[in-house]
Structure 1
Amino acid sequence: MKLGELEKLVLQYLWQNDSADVKQVFGHFEKTRGGSLNTIQSTLDRLYKKGLLTRHKAGHAFVYQAKVERHELIGQLIKSVTSDFITEDDSSLVAAFSSISKEFNEEQLLKLESLIEQQRLKLGQESK
């Protein structure tokens, strides 16, 4: 899945603001980036069609919310990029994470350890 620059910015905005209609999103980006209401509407619609947003009707407008958490999308993007290079029994992805972990601080490493442990417990429960 590929995301354009504005799509990324809109997702960031919705992660920070929970939900918004096109006028609210446009109001934010009009000040910081410019652009038109139609551009924002098209961007929201594209993100909805990509399955990254949900929407519901409120009056005459749609209100949009992020459908996936930020970390879930990052995981999907990593999987998308790496799937062309890694086979099922290949440990290159683990090696890549090990390589970038050099840039992590102590708190991030502790969080990573905690997430790995949670995943181990989940796998253990599923195999029972």
Structure 2
Amino acid sequence: MMTQCPRGPLAYLHSIGVAHRDAFRDNFLVQWHPESLSPSQLTVTRPRVILNDFETAIRFDEDVPSAGRVCVGLPLSESFPDPAKYTRPVPAEVASGQPYDPFKLDVWQFAQSFRNFKARIALLHLRYTLK
């Protein structure tokens, strides 16, 4: 899942000009395959990973240059308009009130949500906490 999220759903969305702006791990759904967690069993496929909750997403038209694909302020939406109640971590670029790249925000949010990650498989925990 940790490798599929940025390479699958996020990469696809970014390729079509969509920035999710709430790409924390609790918005990724994973199709359950118990055998995929077994370190001794070779699996043919990986569980499917799906990104949901697009209320803060923004789509840029193809003709908008990358320099123009920016946002300002917190990733709020009509269903969540109050900045005082926004509790997600925010990088300095977003908090500054200056224009920022929402695609980079997606990657930052995803990585941020694994800051205190603890895997139940020791090899995974060691691999993703030492980097």
Q: TM-score, normalised by structure 1?
A: 0.25
Q: Which has the larger radius of gyration?
A: 1
| Larger strand proportion of the pair | 1
